[in-house]
Amino acid sequence: MAAICSLYIINKSGGLIYYKDYGSGGRMDTNDSLRVASLWHSMHAISQQLSPTTGCYGIELLEADTFDLHCFQSLTGTKFFVVCEPGTQQMESLLKVIYELYTDYVLKNPFYEMEMPIRCELFDINLSQVVQKDRVVLLGR
């Protein structure tokens, strides 16, 4: 079974700009994925308000019985989050790699409009390669 179940990228205002499913129990339909993404955006913001100390940047890891959710927020407010099996390691580095791919193949694409859904072939190809590689590493352990 795949270690990574799905990947979401949301822009700084909470709109879903990329969603990819890697074999979980049925793909979410478009409306639901959009709602989940914007709900996550607000949960992330509320968690900063409830912090007992200053300097909180929001939820990094959410743990449930059946999955873990790792979230990475870039400096410009774009959030990347993956849903994976509980206890999967090295998701932070995977998210950083995905962020690098995003900057290389999406932001440097002259036809890409900021904050709009991502439709870049090169990004898709490289992303699936990275996820495949990650799976092989996980299987090899």
Partner 1 sequence: MQFFGGSEISPSPPTPTVSGNNAHMMYVFNRNGVCLLYREWNRPLHTLNAQQDHKLMFGLLFSLKSLTAKMDPTSAERGNLGVPQLPGQGCSFHSFRTNTYKLSFMESPSGIKIILITHPKTGDLRESLKYIYNLYVEYVMKNPLYTPGTPIRSDLFNTTLDQYVRSIA
CA dihedral of residues 55, 59, 63, 69 (deg, nearest 10):
-140
Stretch 82-141 residues interacting with partner 1 (CB under 8 A):
83
Q: Return the amino acid letter for 12.
A: K
Minimum distance from residue 84 beta carbon to partner 1 (Å): 9
Calculate the CA 47 to chain-centre distance. 18
Minimum distance from residue 105 beta carbon to partner 1 (Å): 26
Minimum distance from residue 82 beta carbon to partner 1 (Å): 11
Residue identified by tokens 């999955």 is 67
Residues constituting the chain: 141
Dmax over CA atoms of the chain, in Å, equals 43
- Cβ proximity to partner 1: between 81 and 102 the closer is 81
- Cβ proximity to partner 1: between 63 and 104 the closer is 63
Please give the backbone phi and psi of residue 9, each rounded to the nearest 5 degrees, phi first.
-125, 125
Kindly write out the interface string for residues 15-44 of this chain, putting x where it contacts partner 1 by CB under 8 A and - elsewhere: ---------xxx-x---x--xx--xx-xx-
CA distance 99 to 102: 5
Minimum distance from residue 104 beta carbon to partner 1 (Å): 26
Pick from 12, 47, 72, 124: which binds partner 1 (CB under 8 A)? 47
Residue identified by tokens 């995003």 is 102
Between CA 92 and CA 97, with CA 94 as vertex, the angle to 5 degrees is 115
Kindly write out the interface string for residues 48-77 of this chain, putting x where it contacts partner 1 by CB under 8 A and - elsewhere: xxxxxxxxxxxxxxxxxxxx-x--------
- Cβ proximity to partner 1: between 4 and 127 the closer is 4
Q: Please, are residues 89 and 80 in contact by the beta-carbon 8 Å criterion? A: no
- The binding site for partner 1 (CB under 8 A) comprises 5-6, 24-26, 28, 32, 35-36, 39-40, 42-43, 46-67, 69, 83
